[in-house]
Structure 1
């Protein structure tokens, strides 16, 4: 610090490596439709451009109407409801899937509750991110209605970093290879909506436009020569990021104890975090808010990676006695562990209990036994009372993923 303030001869340094980084709009194929179960493919045909996927976003506009063509008075989108309109979103490079998210509404809601703070949530209002207020948990927050105007129209810009782990973690340009963003519409839109009236209004979501806006990066001549040399030398480029993989147990048994073997994974996709949540009787029901989770009187939770158990101690929760401080502390610590930032949780303890009582397990520190060979990911769940009828469990696994691509040969392979 002393040397810096005494360096009176220091000259200004200007970074002119990037000349331009304007966003360009890429449209789906001409014959694309946006109805339920449709697959929407948005290609970047020109392989000679340098693009920056982490700075891109999806632009979606449409209209919410009743069956008779009028604007609904009691129905609106839930928090993050636009992403609930899709069953899958994936990013492809050279025809190979690099990253995908299934059930993107549920996946990004769970990840968002853990990741965002209050300021980030305000920033993402333009993306349809509107967490329910504490006083409106059974419905939706009043400001959610701002997503739809008086004529039923809506439009949002959803950053790729909000949808895919690749978009959040990989912050470099992509060189000389074909890219494609693929969206698969859901079979029903009920999970994206909430109706406060009884009987529920019959409504339709009409999507009028979907496009992908991505920065095209123009570089100075010196930088362009460097990049061309990389291509000429036939070098492999490495993409490393943390992928978000959601698993669902659609109907839990009505008992106190559950063991769920989620999947068997390889050492190349090491699980780093597990985010777990319950929802009771909310599937495909427009009168229930799919963005709100239930605690189901959880008392203890363990993640088994092979023979290693996380967390080491029992949680000893009791929601009847408001004894969930340990669970909230695990939620608060996620941001610091995941991003290396000072934690600024979105919810206070009362809101956490009512809106998003998620279990977040940090298993990023692993011994060599866990890191070698294939391992089973198994969850051990204990509750104070029998799990209610029609309860689903969701397990979001955040794991490492490394991809290599060659901009000269267009070969893409998983490491």
Structure 2
């Protein structure tokens, strides 16, 4: 866990806030980890859960692993599966709107890599320091993909109702 150290000038300012018992508002981001075992088929619809409007997903991050039963297996490395299409549905709203055109065999991963590379600036805001600085380059991404789906641009109906989330995944080969 990284620690933050402030300068002496900021320490005095923070001590004054504490001494005067001033209420501080802290933004909160909610994270959910949902794991599942994919059936050995090419097309899978994964029903995640029902969300209330307060917990509507803004981003969905998908990564796949197989054969991680051994203790010695590296759980930080994700497996390349031959995804051909990927959709996230929040009720009837589809993300991304266009078809997910990906072919890992032909190295046609531009759309998936762009979504991955843009996630950092989308999540943290429009900061020029973080823009275009993904952790993996395109070659590393093709061998160890992590899929990021931006669901932050939602209809008003999603903000005022119960939200049903499902993910549709199509692959060229059956899941291992």
Q: Conserved in 1, the CA contact under 8 Å of 2:49 and 2:165?
A: yes
- 2:16 & 2:118 partners in 1: Cα distance? 44
Where do 1:352-371 residues align within 5 Å? 352-355=141-144, 357-371=145-159
Where do 1:3-152 residues align within 5 Å? none
Q: TM-score w.r.t. structure 2 length?
A: 0.85
Q: Which blocks of at least 5 consecutive residues in structure 1 are unaligned?
A: 1-157, 162-216, 232-236, 389-415
Alignment match, 1:279: 65
Matched residue of 1:268: which SS? helix
- 2:75 & 2:55 partners in 1: Cα distance? 29
The 1:343/1:241 distance shift into structure 2, 3 A limit, reads farther
Alignment pair present for 1:349 and 2:138: yes
Alignment match, 1:245: 32
Alignment match, 1:30: none
Where do 1:156-171 residues align within 5 Å? 158-159=1-2
The 1:358/1:223 distance shift into structure 2, 3 A limit, reads closer
Q: For 1:130-158, what per-residue CA distance to the aligned partner results, in whole angstroms no more than 9, with x for missing partners?
A: xxxxxxxxxxxxxxxxxxxxxxxxxxxx2
For residue 238 of structure 1, report the CA deviation from its aligned partner: 4.1
Alignment pair present for 1:254 and 2:97: no
- 1:309 & 1:222 partners in 2: Cα distance? 49
For residue 288 of structure 1, report the CA deviation from its aligned partner: 2.0
Alignment pair present for 1:324 and 2:106: no
- 1:332 & 1:264 partners in 2: Cα distance? 29
Q: Conserved in 2, the CA contact under 8 Å of 1:298 and 1:319?
A: yes
Structure number with the higher strand fraction is 1
Alignment match, 2:87: 302
Q: Conserved in 1, the CA contact under 8 Å of 2:56 and 2:163?
A: no
Aligned residues between the structures: 166
Which structure exhibits the higher relative contact order, with contacts defined as CA atoms closer than 8 Å and separated by 6 or more residues? 2
Q: Which blocks of at least 5 consecutive residues in structure 2 are unaligned?
A: 5-10
Bigger-Rg structure (1/2): 1
